[in-house]
Amino acid sequence: MGTDTPGIPIGGGIEAGIDRTRPHATRGTYLEVVHSWIVTVDHKKLGILYISYALVFLLVAGVEALMIRVQLFFPHNTFVTPATFNRLFTMHGTTMVFLMGMPLLFGFGNYLVPLMIGARDMAFPRLNAFSFWISAFAGLLLYYSFIGGVGLAGTGSAPDVAWFAYAPLTERAFSPGHTVDYWAIAILASGIGSIGTAINIIATVFCMRCKGMTLMRIPLLPWLYATMSFLTLITISPLTAAQAMLLIDRYLGGHFFDTQAGGSAILWAHFFWIFGHPEVYVLILPGFAFANEIIPVFSRKAIFGYSAMVAASVGIAFISTGVWAHHMFTIGMTSFGNAFFTLSTMLVSIPTGIKTFNWLATVWGGRIRFETPMLFSIAFLFQWVIAGLTGIMLSISAWDWQLHNSYFVVAHFHYVLVGALVFIVFAAIYYWYPKITGRMLDERLGKWHFWLMVIGFHMTFDVMHFPGLLGMPRQIYTYEPDRGWTLMNQIVSIGGFIQAIAVLILVYNMVHSYFRGDEAGPDPWDAWTLEWSIPSPPPPYNFAIDPVVASRRPLWDLKHPEDPDSAFE
Amino acid sequence: MVSSCAAWGATSSTSIFSTQSTPATEVDHLAYFVLVICALIFIGVSSLLIYALRRYRARPGENVEPPQVFGSVQIELAWTIIPVLIIVTLFLGTARVLFSVQDARKPASALDVIVVGHQFWWEFRYPQYNVITANELHVPVSSPAFSRPTFMKLTSADVIHSFWVPSLAGKTDLLPNRVNEMWIDPQETGVYLGQCAQFCGMQHAKMLLRVYVDSPEQFQQWIANEQKTQGETAVTMQASLSVPGRGNAGQGDPPSNSPAARMETVAQPAGTLQAINAHDGKLEFERQACINCHTVAGTVANGRYGPDLTHLMSRDTLAAGAMPNTPENLKKWIEDPSIFKPGSLMPAMRLTERQDAQITAYLLTLK
Amino acid sequence: MSTIPLEHVRDEAPWRLPSRGVIAMTGLIIAESAIFTIFVAAYLYYIGRDVSGPTPREVLEIPFFGTVCLLSSSGFIMIAERAIEHGKMAAFTGWWAFTILLGGIFLADTGIEWYKLIVHDHLTINTNLFGTCFYSLVGLHASHVIVGLIMMLVVLVCAVGRKVHPQHAARVKVLAMYWHFVDGVWVVVFSVVYIIGR
């Protein structure tokens, strides 16, 4: 098998070219190990730090969500005070987007992009470390707000202005405490980290590719990460600018959003959504990246339409910068403005549709295996289609006048962010956990996780559309019993708890498998990109010899020398 | 799905599908159109997906890789062009409704209402009638025979709010330093419910809306009453209406709310001088800071920070729908608004029991 | 322990990848441009919307001298770049120092202007909308000038200490990109504040 013989692989065919050296366990005192993690600039360690940090906040924000759902179980419930409830939904949203979504996706990007392009690390390892630690600081600062001030029971100065923090509610006159300041400064700091990582990813993809890997030969994951990073650069910056303006208003007496001095409340909304809309594409593009890698491997076919996928992804990023005011259809734009943004928003569905149909075509004619990563990917596909369709409904500006700020919107964006993004992230976790840790996650627990997640997710977020259609606005700490919303809210809440159990099963699986899981080996899924050619977990230097590639699927060429991709590209 | 939406619509007073006014009805029809198209797309795509998953699953023992297909320009074109056509259809349908609702011209018969949003209540002004009121909007019905839509101008005194009564129209935001416009033409009389739909602070959830669509006669009556000031009705306050309160219930007597009890002057414990009556209540009201925030037309109270109280007793609810308008609720509200609406901008005035009762007695006369 | 190189590729064309520094600086410039765009958008939106206080026309004087200094410094930094590419370290140090001097003059000019506005015209960041937008936008630009000057001073100190050599030309070039960006932003800010906004 050639596993322990250094240097020369034995035989040909599938065995050759895949490094089967068994990884050595790391040694050192406890203090040395901790120290090595704190000072690391290794993209793999930083990736793991980012992902772990994000998973912790996933649980924290999940608890916040469950508390919201308990409060909304009955009308006029008094589980939490109005002030606490307002903090809970603000923190839930802010945490999930900035302290869970971004770090998780940057973590995967950090880990995988260099490996997939045959590099030894990111372009700027120290910038990488700096970006992580400033993001970590931002998260701690944001959560310090719970105890900074009055104290936990009164939930201190935790932000309570909704995740989009509309002015002038956030001006000193209407938010005299420090809740807004924690929000603005923490997110500003995390934004700096995001911009740093984005620059790093772009530089890595363009400047660190191994020999033979032209831009049209890189796997789709680095392509999508490069696109997402570019979008990050032009997306986070408007938020940074707007938050700076808000702080100038609050502390230097500025008038950016001071309507008494002629300032405009609508300006904040524009600036925030110029950030906010592309931001959700920043979040979902890596999700697409994972689907682009996982679905082909489990269908045993190359991705259908690589070039179209690249073009569609770049197109989505471009178009997404011109749709932001579909969050503002009720704010009083002219009918022409409303019409323009209706059309531009609908246009996004064209490249998105192309991607979705390409996944369908990849699966078509394949030999589909239904291990856990593929189960989550299939659920992703269905749920993505539904989420996209409710998005189309919301893009209809006239209908949006009814749907805006209702639970229909909440259901839609959770359908995208949980039903699509979180599901495909779960797929990615089951797919790459073996590479990162050298152990397989347990398949049986995986299936339990999957089915509970599907049941809980649909119970919550399918039903959640209906209170919106029946007039229930969002961000309310209670509701009237005569509106007919009560039963639906109860079903939604129960579904939330089922999802919580599913996530706990995943956490247990991840911890238990780390110690007791089956050994994974370098290539447990029989996949085709470069990260599967090195041991699991990879050595610090990644590749013993710099790879040289001739096609988009270098390992396919190795395993199928009679039918290599390089003959077709 | 569509018919179940309609069925559900019947069960909720705030369903966007049970519409009573043209803006809402137009949107309702558009929504059905879009729903049907989306349903067809969903059925089509998911059928293909389910079929593929069944037909192409790996059978046990299969070890050969399937034929590798890398793409097809024709197929890519097909599923680019078809979505473009669908989008053009959807957009044209939307544009029609969008322009017809948003750019509708105001007929001469229209009623003008100015809506000013506050934390956490609604101010309504009728410039054509010189009427200012709060929280409960009265409009005349607009039947096909006699069209009398209500055209509203919306703005805010503080932060961003949103006016949403689903049966009557889509929501429109209220922004400070900016005037937005919307219109409704309710076709049937009745009470329509809604609430603020833009997070505006701690009590956003309790900034409720009630729209009373009156027959033309009822509306005229209501306007006429609203136009009366409390200066004119001061004469009628000679009748001393004593209100049972903790302070004057006497030893062991349960408070009674019957008309007879109200007309009596209840014996006071030693030290209290007079019965609780509305006249004294008015004096108390005018002594307190109430007058700085509230207006009672015809008196010295002309504050604009809080709701206009001139005809407080003509309303069904208090505090923007937070609770029913009953004497007990009113008294508790004055005592401490945070019992009902913590975070409301009305402070607890720290009145004595007696002062509370007196002011309540006075307010009960503001019909 | 080895991975077989997947050497199907027979062409001997050199494998060229772009420079990390240039790509990263381009990325940073894109992000910073987006930030400036938002401040410019706010400035443009608020032109003429003041309810009180001094107007731009009343108090703004066009800073010709500072602008000429700053924009010409772009030319001089290019001369310095060419010098280091050709190995002329003394010339490089001289032209580099001159660029920094010009940048410093620009900052001084801005400082004088602000002194006049604050002390004589009573225009501060909280006076009115114009004040808020003006000091934010011009201040944001000035802060970028300061950061650029600090970085350039570090290079100057190293150059004077003979630690800078021709092989550092690429890194110097990356820093020069930043400086060109700062100058480019000034063209926009100048046009918006002193031409369109007055």
Q: Name every residue whose Cβ is closer than 8 Å to that of residue B147 and which is 6 or more positions away in sequence.
A: B107, B109, B185
**Is residue A565 helix, strand or coil?**
helix
pLDDT at B255 over 60: no
Predicted pLDDT of residue A545: 87
For residue A237, give the chain C residue with the closest CA.
C35
A548, C20: Cβ pair inside 8 Å? no
Predicted pLDDT of residue B51: 97
Among candidates C6, C17, C126 on the partner chain, residue whose Cβ is nearest the Cβ of A207: C17
**Which amino acid makes up residue B237?**
M
* A474-499 mean pLDDT: 96
- What does A294-308 look like in DSSP terms, one character per residue? HHHHHHTSPPS-HHH
A19, C1: Cβ pair inside 8 Å? yes
pLDDT in tens, C26-65: 999 999 999 999 999 999 999 999 988 899 999 999 999 9
Tell me, yes or no, if A7 comes closer than 8 A to chain C by beta carbon: yes
Predicted pLDDT of residue B11: 62
Predicted pLDDT of residue A175: 92
Which tops the pLDDT comparison, B236 or B166?
B166
**Chain C residues touching A235 at Cβ < 8 A:** 34
Record the tokens describing residue B364, joined without a space.
């009960």
For residue B9, give the chain A residue with the closest CA.
A470
Tell me, yes or no, if A361 comes closer than 8 A to chain B by beta carbon: yes
| CA-based nearest distance A6→chain B, Å | 30
For residue A83, give the chain B residue with the closest CA.
B202
The ipTM of this complex is 0.93
C3, A207: Cβ pair inside 8 Å? no
pLDDT in tens, A103-123: 999 999 999 999 999 999 999
Predicted pLDDT of residue A20: 80
pLDDT at B253 over 60: no
Lowest mean pLDDT, pick from A1-5, A128-132, C79-83: A1-5
Tell me, yes or no, if A360 comes closer than 8 A to chain B by beta carbon: yes
As its CATH architecture, domain C61-196 has: Up-down Bundle (1.20)
| CA-based nearest distance B129→chain A, Å | 27
Predicted pLDDT of residue A23: 74
| CA-based nearest distance A318→chain C, Å | 15
**Chain A residues touching C7 at Cβ < 8 A:** 548
- Binned at pLDDT 50, 70 and 90, residue C20 comes out as very high
A330, B42: Cβ pair inside 8 Å? no
B contact test, residue of A163, A357, A474, A482 with most B CBs within 10 A: A357
Tell me, yes or no, if A521 comes closer than 8 A to chain C by beta carbon: no
The span from the first CA to the last CA of chain B, in angstroms, equals 47
| CA-based nearest distance C120→chain A, Å | 20
Predicted pLDDT of residue C11: 56
Among candidates B11, B59, B204 on the partner chain, residue whose Cβ is nearest the Cβ of A475: B204
Predicted pLDDT of residue B275: 74
Report domain extents, chain C. Answer: 61-196
Q: Name every residue whose Cβ is closer than 8 Å to that of residue A254 and which is 6 or more positions away in sequence.
A: A245, A248, C125, C126, C132, C136
Predicted pLDDT of residue A12: 31
**Which amino acid makes up residue A214?**
T
Neighbours of chain C (3+ CB pairs under 8 A): A
Alpha carbons within 13 A on the beta-carbon side of A258: 26
- What does C107-171 look like in DSSP terms, one character per residue? HHHHHHHHHIIIIIS---TTTSHHHHHHHHHHHHHHHHHHHHHHHHHHHHHHHHTT---GGGHHH
Tell me, yes or no, if A338 comes closer than 8 A to chain B by beta carbon: yes
State whether the Cα torsion A527-A530-A536-A537 is positive or negative.
Answer: negative
Predicted pLDDT of residue A147: 86
- Binned at pLDDT 50, 70 and 90, residue B265 comes out as very low
Of B306, B345, B282, nearest in space to B134 by CA: B306
**Chain A residues touching B199 at Cβ < 8 A:** 86, 161-162, 166, 169, 474-475
pLDDT in tens, B76-129: 999 999 999 999 999 999 999 999 999 999 999 999 999 999 999 999 999 999
- Binned at pLDDT 50, 70 and 90, residue A569 comes out as low
Phi, psi angles (nearest 5°) of residue C95:
-65, -35
Q: Name every residue whose Cβ is closer than 8 Å to that of residue C29 and which is 6 or more positions away in sequence.
A: C177, C178, C181
pLDDT at A491 over 90: yes
Record the tokens describing residue B143, joined without a space.
């039947």
Mean pLDDT of chain C: 92
- Put simply, the chain A residues between 122 and 141 with a CB less than 8 A from any chain C CB are 123-124
Tell me, yes or no, if A236 comes closer than 8 A to chain C by beta carbon: yes
Predicted pLDDT of residue A429: 98
**Chain B residues touching A163 at Cβ < 8 A:** none
pLDDT in tens, B156-165: 999 999 999 9
pLDDT at B242 over 50: no
Q: Name every residue whose Cβ is closer than 8 Å to that of residue C136 and which is 6 or more positions away in sequence.
A: A244, A245, A248, A254, A256, C39, C42, C125
* B150-154 mean pLDDT: 97
* B287-307 mean pLDDT: 91
Of A27, A189, A116, A32, nearest in space to A542 by CA: A116
**Chain C residues touching A547 at Cβ < 8 A:** 3, 5-6
Tell me, yes or no, if A567 comes closer than 8 A to chain B by beta carbon: no
**Chain A residues touching B38 at Cβ < 8 A:** 389-390, 392-393
CATH class of A47-567: mainly alpha
| CA-based nearest distance A463→chain C, Å | 39
- Put simply, the chain A residues between 522 and 561 with a CB less than 8 A from any chain C CB are 533-534, 543-551, 554, 557-558
pLDDT in tens, A308-331: 999 999 999 999 999 999 999 999
Report domain extents, chain A. Answer: 47-567
**Chain A residues touching C42 at Cβ < 8 A:** 245, 256, 267, 271
* A539-549 mean pLDDT: 91
- Binned at pLDDT 50, 70 and 90, residue A563 comes out as confident
C128, A550: Cβ pair inside 8 Å? no
Among candidates A82, A353, A473 on the partner chain, residue whose Cβ is nearest the Cβ of B202: A82
pLDDT at B230 over 90: no
Of all helices (H) and strands (E), which one includes residue C85?
helix C64-85
* C153-181 mean pLDDT: 95
pLDDT at A357 over 50: yes
pLDDT in tens, A255-280: 999 999 999 999 999 999 999 999 99
Predicted pLDDT of residue B259: 43
Of all helices (H) and strands (E), which one includes residue A200?
helix A179-207
pLDDT at A152 over 60: no
* CA–CA separation, A402 and B306 (whole Å): 29
DSSP A18: S
A contact test, residue of B73, B159, B165, B180 with most A CBs within 10 A: B159
Structural domains of chain B sorted by starting position, each given as residue range(s) with its CATH number in brackets: 2-48+71-102 (no CATH), 111-216 (2.60.40.420), 232-363 (2.60.40.420)
State whether the Cα torsion A166-A171-A177-A179 is positive or negative.
Answer: positive
For residue C13, give the chain A residue with the closest CA.
A212
B31, A484: Cβ pair inside 8 Å? no
| CA-based nearest distance A9→chain C, Å | 7
A206, C35: Cβ pair inside 8 Å? no
A271, C50: Cβ pair inside 8 Å? no
* A329-349 mean pLDDT: 96
Residue ranges of chain C whose CB lies within 8 Å of a chain A CB: 1-9, 15, 17-20, 23-24, 27-28, 30-32, 34-35, 37-39, 41-42, 45-46, 49-52, 124-126, 128-129, 131-133, 136
> How many CB atoms within 10 Å of residue B220?
13
Lowest mean pLDDT, pick from A99-108, A392-401, B254-263, C185-194: B254-263
Size of interface A-B (CB pairs under 8 A): 283
Tell me, yes or no, if A224 comes closer than 8 A to chain C by beta carbon: no
C18, A233: Cβ pair inside 8 Å? no
* CA–CA separation, A101 and A228 (whole Å): 13
pLDDT in tens, C89-146: 999 999 999 999 999 999 999 999 999 999 999 999 999 999 999 999 999 999 999 9
